[in-house]
Structure 1
Amino acid sequence: MSTTLIKAATIVNEGKTFVADVFIKNGMIDKIAPHIDTAADLEINAEGLYLIPGMIDDQVHFREPGLTHKADIFTESMAAVAGGITSFMEMPNTVPNTLTQELLADKYDIAQQTSLANYSFYMGASNDNIEEVLKTDPKNVCGIKVFMGSSTGNMLVDNEKTLENIFSKAPILVATHCEDEATIRHNMAAFKEKYDDQITIDMHPLIRSTEACYKSSSLAVELAKKYNTRLHILHISTAKEVRLFDNKTPLAEKRITAEACVHHLWFNDTDYATKGNFIKWNPAVKTDVDQAGILQGLLDDHIDVIATDHAPHTLDEKNQPYLQAPSGGPLVQHALPALLEMHLQGKLSLEKIVEKTAHNVAICYQLEKRGFIREGYWADLALIDLNDAWKVTKLNTFYKCGWSPFDGQTFSASITHTFVSGVLAYQKGKFMTNQTGKRLTFNR
Structure 2
Amino acid sequence: MPNTLIVNARLVNEGREFDGDLRIEDGRIAEIGSGLSARGNETVVDAAGRRLLPGMIDDQVHFREPGLEYKADMATESAAAVAGGLTSFMDMPNTTPPTLDADALEDKYRRANGRAWGNYGFYLGASNDNLEAVRRLDPLTAPGIKVFMGASTGNMLVDNPATLDAIFREAPTPIITHCEDTPTIDAELARYKAQYGDDIPAEFHPDIRSREACLKSTQLAISLARRHGTRLHVLHISTADELALFEVGPLIRADGSRKQITAETCIHFLRFDRTDYATLGHLIKCNPAIKDSSDREALIAAVAGDVIDVLATDHAPHTLEEKARPYTGAPSGLPLVQFALNAALELVHEGKLTTAQVVQKFAHAPAQLFDVAERGFLREGYFADLVLVDDTPFTVQRSQVLSKCGWSPFEGRTFHSRIASTWVNGALAWDGERLVGAANGQRLAFAR
Structure 2 spans left out of the alignment, 5+ residues: none
SS of the aligned residue for 1:243 comes to: helix
Asked if the contact 2:174–2:233 (Cα under 8 Å) also holds between the matched residues in 1, the reply is yes
Is 1:285 the counterpart of 2:285? The answer is no
2:128 is matched with 127
Please point out which of 410, 416, 426 is paired with 1:412: 416
Who is 2:168 aligned against? 167
Is 1:372 equivalent to 2:373 in the alignment? no
Aligned pairs for 1:315-326 within 5 A: 315-326=320-331
1:44-83 correspondence to structure 2 within 5 Å: 44-83=45-84
Aligned to 2:36: 36
* Structure 1 residues 8 and 234: CA distance shift in structure 2, 3 A: same
- Corresponding position of 2:442: 438
Q: Percent identity?
A: 52
Match of 1:209 in 2: 210
Q: How far apart, CA to CA, are the structure 2 residues paired with 1:155 and 1:338?
A: 31
User: In 2, are the aligned partners of 1:5 and 1:23 still within 8 Å (CA)?
Assistant: yes
Cα distance in structure 2, aligned partners of 1:66 and 1:261:
25
Judge conservation of contact 2:273–2:296 (CA < 8 Å) in 1. yes
Q: Among residues 395, 398, 401, which one is paired with 1:397 in the alignment?
A: 401
- The total of aligned residue pairs comes to 443
Other structure's SS at 2:105 match: helix
Partner of 2:342: 337
Q: What is the SS of the residue equivalent to 1:162?
A: helix
TM (norm. structure 1) is: 0.98
Contact 2:205 2:289 in 1 (8 A): yes
Residue 259 of structure 2 corresponds to residue 261 of structure 1: no
Amino acid of the structure 2 residue aligned with 1:174 = I
Q: Indicate conservation of the 8 Å contact 1:116/1:433, yes or no.
A: no
> 2:12 maps to which residue?
12
TM-score between both structures, scaled by the size of structure 2? 0.97
Please say if residues 118 and 439 of structure 2, whose CA atoms lie closer than 8 Å, have aligned partners that are also in contact.
no
The answer to whether the 8 A contact 1:120-1:439 is kept is yes
Q: Quick check: 1:196 aligned with 2:197?
A: yes
CA distance in 2, matches of 1:143, 1:61: 15
Secondary structure of 1:334 counterpart: helix
Specify the alignment match of 1:355 in structure 2. Answer: 360
Following TM superposition, the consecutive aligned residue runs of length 4 or more in structure 1 with deviations greater than 4 angstroms are none
- Deviation at 1:190? 1.5
Partners of 2:51 and 2:389 within 8 A in 1: yes
Residue of structure 1 equivalent to 2:315: 310
Distance 1:402 1:141 in 2: 30
1:228 aligns with 2:233: no
Determine the C-alpha separation between the residues in 2 that align with 1:81 and 1:198: 37
Greater Cα offset, 248-257 or 267-276: 248-257
Give per-residue Cα distances to partners, 1:302-325, cap 9 Å, x unaligned: 110100000000010001111110
Matched, 1:243 2:247: no
Amino acid at match of 2:138: D
User: CA offset at residue 250 of structure 1?
Assistant: 4.8
Amino acid at match of 1:54: G
- CA apart distance, 1:382: 0.1
Of 375-384 and 193-202, the range deviating more from structure 2: 193-202
Report what 1:176 is aligned to: 177
Secondary structure at the counterpart of residue 188 of structure 2:
helix
1:249 to 1:2, Cα distance in 2 relative to 1, 3 A? closer
Q: Deviations over 1:202-242 (max 9, x none)?
A: 11000100000000001000000000001000000000101
Cα offset, 1:47, TM superposition: 1.1
Q: Which residue is 1:275 aligned to?
A: 280
> What is the alpha-carbon root mean square deviation over aligned residues?
1.1
Task: Give 1:105's aligned amino acid.
Answer: E
The DSSP-based 3-state class of the residue aligned with 1:289 is: helix
Q: Distance in 2 between matches of 1:277 and 1:52?
A: 33
**Pair 1:38–1:198, CA change in 2 (3 A):** closer
Larger mean CA deviation between 138-147 and 187-196 belongs to 187-196
Q: Helix, strand or coil: the match of 2:17?
A: strand
CA distance in 2, matches of 1:358, 1:198: 40
Equivalent position amino acid for 2:433 in 1: G
Please name the residue that 1:422 is paired with.
426
Deviations 1:150-195 (A, max 9, x none): 1111101111111001000000010100000010011111222233
The 8 Å contact of residues 60 and 308 in structure 1, kept in 2 or not, is answered as yes
User: Aligned equivalents of 2:317 and 2:83: distance in 1?
Assistant: 16
Partner amino acid, structure 2, of 1:279: I
For the residues of structure 2 that align with 1:83 and 1:250, how far apart are their CA atoms?
Answer: 25
Q: Which amino acid in structure 1 is aligned with residue 214 of structure 2?
A: C
Alignment partners' CA distance in 2, 1:331 and 1:246 = 28
